[in-house]
Amino acid sequence: MGAYGLPRRLVEAARAMAQRGLARGSSGNVSARIEGGILITASGVPYERLSEDGIVEIDFEGKKRSGEGEPSSEWRMHVEIYRRRRDAAAIVHTHSPYATAAAIALKSLPIVHDEGKILFGGEIPVSEHAPPGTWELARAAADGLGAGSAVLIARHGAVTVGDTPEEALSLAEKVEEMAQLFWLSRFLEEEHVKRR
């Protein structure tokens, strides 16, 4: 993916992530691969105030090249995924509530919807737990993601990868939808059993 227009597209994806309830305040982050490094949202900037200046360029060692502020504290996770997944051009990391609940309570998120099975297969894995912002979390997330398009980070949130920021965002929305459907179907099944 060429770098032309990418900062603007990352800002738009980050704002849309917040507007759609996938992240609050400055939680979560969005990035894209560029030649020799990545562009990633700055740490601690609420998305409604995010501008193109708040898209930080770093190399694959985390060294800042340009942009205002510091890169997201989860830059290591993005770098680790890009190192392992040459096909990944963009990453969206959300703290969406239903997917995060699944990342807290489950070992994997069962996919109970036919469209979801086409996108994600039979389940979305949950990574091993590791402290936020660490290389341990970065490796755990990349291990959990494997060759897939989505992973839930244990007790933390969700990550999706795509060919563009827009595709990664769309998949993040679908992860949250699949989590909502799972929790709703489980609730309805339990209610049905209670009424027998």
Query: Which of the four pLDDT bands, split at 50, 70 and 90, describes residue 174?
Result: very high
Count: domains in the chain: 1
Of 57, 74, 173, 176, which one is the catalytic site residue? 74
Residue 74: active-site member: yes
With respect to residue 1, please indicate whether it lies within any of the assigned structural domains.
no
| Other Cβ atoms closer than 10 A to 72 | 25
CATH of the domain at 62: 3.40.225.10
Strands 90-94 and 157-162: what pairing?
antiparallel
For 93-105, what is each residue's pLDDT tens digit? 999 999 999 999 9
Let me know: does 61 contact 26? Beta carbons within 8 Å.
no
Is pTM beyond 0.75? Reply is yes
For 108-156, what is each residue's pLDDT tens digit? 999 999 999 999 999 999 999 999 999 999 999 999 999 999 999 999 9
With respect to residue 171, please indicate whether it lies within any of the assigned structural domains.
yes
For residue 120, the enclosing domain spans 6-194
